[in-house]
């Protein structure tokens, strides 16, 4: 299993929206960065990810799972998307400031590649962030 982080502006698609999508989930569309596209193409069904509110909030607020691997976006077939379903909210949101202040996360993609909307998370990062989040 691999771990990921998905960024979304809460005014566009929030954690509450993701929760309302239910077990069927929603297609993660609109990703137009080639690195982020490559990350989605590497995902497997059952992989887990952190759901991160970018812009407003700047914090990890939930855990999602990949329920459908990369496939063409319905409205832009030259691009790929995955389908994500909410697993659960984190008991304690983890802010970007907290992550940047912790030396364990100095090499984390969230710190190094701040504009990348879909990014990998290492096993060690997943465990450490999960502990901060109360998982």
- Residue 110 reports pLDDT greater than 90: yes
Q: Return the pLDDT at 114.
A: 87
Query: What's the whole-number average pLDDT of the chain?
Result: 97
- Residue 104 reports pLDDT greater than 90: yes
Name, in order, each residue with C-beta under 8 angstroms of 42's C-beta and a sequence gap of 6 or more: 2
Q: Distance between alpha carbon 59 and the CA centroid of its chain, in Å?
A: 11
Q: Which CATH class is domain 3-132?
A: alpha beta
CA pair distance 35, 135, nearest whole angstrom: 29
Q: Are 109 and 116 in contact (CB under 8 A)?
A: yes
- Residue 132: how many CA atoms within 13 Å on its side-chain side? 22
Q: Are 52 and 60 in contact (CB under 8 A)?
A: yes
Rounded mean pLDDT, 26-46:
97
**Percentage of residues in the chain having pLDDT higher than 90:** 97
- Residue 41 reports pLDDT greater than 90: yes
Name, in order, each residue with C-beta under 8 angstroms of 79's C-beta and a sequence gap of 6 or more: 29, 31, 32, 37, 72, 73
Q: Return the pLDDT at 56.
A: 87
Rounded mean pLDDT, 87-114:
97
Q: Specify the DSSP element, H or E, that contains 70.
A: strand 59-73
Q: What is the DSSP letter of 106?
A: T
Q: Return the pLDDT at 23.
A: 94
CA pair distance 83, 66, nearest whole angstrom: 6
Rounded mean pLDDT, 105-133:
97
């Amino acid at each position: 299993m691999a771990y990921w982080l998905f960024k979304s502006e809460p005014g566009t698609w929030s954690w509450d929206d993701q929760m309302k999508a239910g077990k069927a989930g929603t297609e993660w569309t609109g990703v137009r960065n080639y690195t982020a596209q490559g990350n989605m193409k590497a995902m497997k069904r059952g992989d887990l990810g952190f759901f991160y509110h970018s812009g407003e909030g700047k914090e990890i607020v939930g855990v999602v799972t990949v329920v459908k691997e990369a496939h063409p976006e319905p409205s832009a077939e030259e691009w790929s998307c995955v389908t994500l379903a909410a697993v659960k909210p984190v008991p304690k949101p983890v802010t970007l400031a907290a992550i940047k202040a912790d030396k364990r996360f100095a090499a984390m993609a969230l710190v190094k590649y701040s504009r990348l909307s879909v990014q990998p998370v290492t096993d060690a990062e997943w465990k450490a962030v999960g502990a901060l989040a109360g998982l």
